Structure 1
């Protein structure tokens, strides 16, 4: 602890990341123009498909499966999710999980890399342009990754990430429009390259920054969420995720059991590709949320009372 207290908590700019993201976003603007005026429909469909699959892999794979262990998956499903996660271009699953677990360990503190108190722009993008502080780096090294290190599929991706990235993220998506439906080189590079990269990155970043959009502001007194208006409806569910992160039903964007990721996990269970879903009953959660609103007690206390347990550590699986 003394060693930690002596480390600096200030973060320096990561200039290679700054230049990288500037180029990605500027060049993707031309990709948007091509998308509306020149690109072929097959390229548009491929863009939608690859962006959707990559986002699904982040939400249900890196986040729900590996970071929080909300369910278990067969080797075949883990292999597919690993390959699809490579389409995100956000680093290996190992590094993604380590960074996300650090975020949960430091959530609601001033040293959280995605400190939501600094606003959406900081949590969503500005933090990506900074290096971790020496204090945060030390804490990241202490994150327990032993379960991930026993997963041969994740470690294979970690060891061969840049080869997989070159083939799956760059070579195949950029070559497909040229090879199979004779689209232009410009469309392949700027739409399937830069624009796709920008779209997938922002979708993946919402896993950490979505709390600023769909989570309640401090002292807000909204009713239990109804999910009627997806993009503007705020609820307690993002808070609940940070209280009990190992509930598979909590979506990334403010929903509970009606999200796309939750639906896909249930489909995989039906196909016998996944099992051991970890959750608590919806009625129990609703009762705790209603009690918190009615009594103004801390939500964590209401959840503990509703589930009749004294302590809910992050590594506790709720059956």
Structure 2
């Protein structure tokens, strides 16, 4: 029985859920939006190499990096999985930077991501990795959730997020923050401060930046298809991709123990840029309560799972003596 089955049985709506359709319809506004973003960003790439000023290039790199950092360290590790706690000042900065992503509010992002974790490895996971990278990364963004998934999304426990005044402020005023932080300030800077062209501002700082940030954020859910080992594989496959990609067990580990702050979004563990930033913030006193598991404990759990044939997730929980915390169960 899956985690979803267990949770729905507890709350009693199993019969109601079984009547709902699991088919997903095309989200035509999203289809048209993403077609335009990608087509217009191609012209932005041409301008990037042949027309824009260096200050615009540097601003593009800076804003793209900050937005990606906000998704990884903020929406994902802080709010979705509660891997650490942060001061109000840092949360406010991460909220502003997350608005640079243009992917909706933190509340909406966390709700979708928790739904993904609750349904992971099932056929109703919106980002079903079994359908391949292209589906998990792109195709799913072009479809609405099915009635079945929508009902489960309503059952996602967001009580901790609703207590965060900064997240709720962004949620309530997102469509006021978005045009100012995401559109007005980035597009105005090249025109106002170093006299770059309108075309560079619109197509590079607008469409190209949006495309880059979206794909970086989408990899949080679809990266499992790239960096995770395929089912039953014990070692990375013998492929030329080894020169570009490092496939490991760590993407699988994240779905077993999502509350570990060292689990990287892009296939790393303990060595990624986001992890380094969290440690710097901890040294500065901006974050605390960093949650993690010692590698010796993980090895002990692996040995126990091999010896007893128990599920690895259960062995990890027993080895760490963790109680069943909200990070493991996202459905109410």
* Same fold per superposition (TM over 0.5): yes
User: CA contact under 8 A between 1:224 and 1:235: conserved in structure 2?
Assistant: no
**What displacement does 1:294 show?**
9.6
User: CA contact under 8 A between 1:246 and 1:318: conserved in structure 2?
Assistant: no
Residue in 2 that maps onto 1:247? 260
**What displacement does 1:221 show?**
1.2
Q: Residues of 1 paired with 2:30 and 2:150: CA distance?
A: 17
Deviations 1:93-147 (A, max 9, x none): 0000000000000000000000000000000010000000000000000101111
Deviations 1:15-71 (A, max 9, x none): 000000000000000000000111100000000000000000000000000000110
User: CA contact under 8 A between 1:225 and 1:236: conserved in structure 2?
Assistant: no
Q: Residues of 1 paired with 2:204 and 2:136: CA distance?
A: 26
Q: Residues of 2 paired with 1:260 and 1:318: CA distance?
A: 30
Q: Residues of 1 paired with 2:84 and 2:25: CA distance?
A: 37
Q: Residues of 2 paired with 1:306 and 1:246: CA distance?
A: 15
Q: Residues of 1 paired with 2:291 and 2:241: CA distance?
A: 26
User: CA contact under 8 A between 1:225 and 1:233: conserved in structure 2?
Assistant: no
Q: Residues of 2 paired with 1:130 and 1:304: CA distance?
A: 35
Moved more, 79-88 or 216-225: 216-225
Q: 1:21 to 1:317 in 2, by over 3 A?
A: closer
**What displacement does 1:255 show?**
1.1
Deviations 1:145-198 (A, max 9, x none): 111111110011001101111000000000000000010000000000000000
Q: 1:80 to 1:227 in 2, by over 3 A?
A: farther
**What displacement does 1:317 show?**
14
**What displacement does 1:312 show?**
7.6
Moved more, 23-32 or 226-235: 226-235
**What displacement does 1:226 show?**
16
**What displacement does 1:269 show?**
0.5
Partner SS for 1:51: helix
**What displacement does 1:292 show?**
6.5
Structure 1: 5+ residue stretches without partners: none
Q: 1:221 to 1:310 in 2, by over 3 A?
A: farther
Partner SS for 1:228: helix
Structure 2: 5+ residue stretches without partners: 1-15
Moved more, 287-296 or 65-74: 287-296
Q: After superposition, where does 1:21-36 map in structure 2 within 5 Å?
A: 21-36=34-49
Q: After superposition, where does 1:115-130 map in structure 2 within 5 Å?
A: 115-130=128-143
**What displacement does 1:315 show?**
4.2
Residue in 2 that maps onto 1:222? 235
Q: Residues of 1 paired with 2:323 and 2:170: CA distance?
A: 39
Q: Residues of 1 paired with 2:240 and 2:97: CA distance?
A: 28
User: CA contact under 8 A between 1:227 and 1:255: conserved in structure 2?
Assistant: no
**What displacement does 1:284 show?**
2.1
> Is 2:105 the partner of 1:105?
no
Q: Residues of 2 paired with 1:169 and 1:5: CA distance?
A: 41
**What displacement does 1:219 show?**
1.2
Moved more, 121-130 or 302-311: 302-311
Q: 1:184 to 1:223 in 2, by over 3 A?
A: closer
What do you get for the CA RMSD once the two structures are aligned?
Answer: 3.3
**What displacement does 1:272 show?**
0.6
Q: Residues of 1 paired with 2:89 and 2:239: CA distance?
A: 35
User: CA contact under 8 A between 2:236 and 2:247: conserved in structure 1?
Assistant: no
User: CA contact under 8 A between 1:247 and 1:318: conserved in structure 2?
Assistant: no
User: CA contact under 8 A between 2:83 and 2:261: conserved in structure 1?
Assistant: yes
Q: 1:229 to 1:312 in 2, by over 3 A?
A: farther
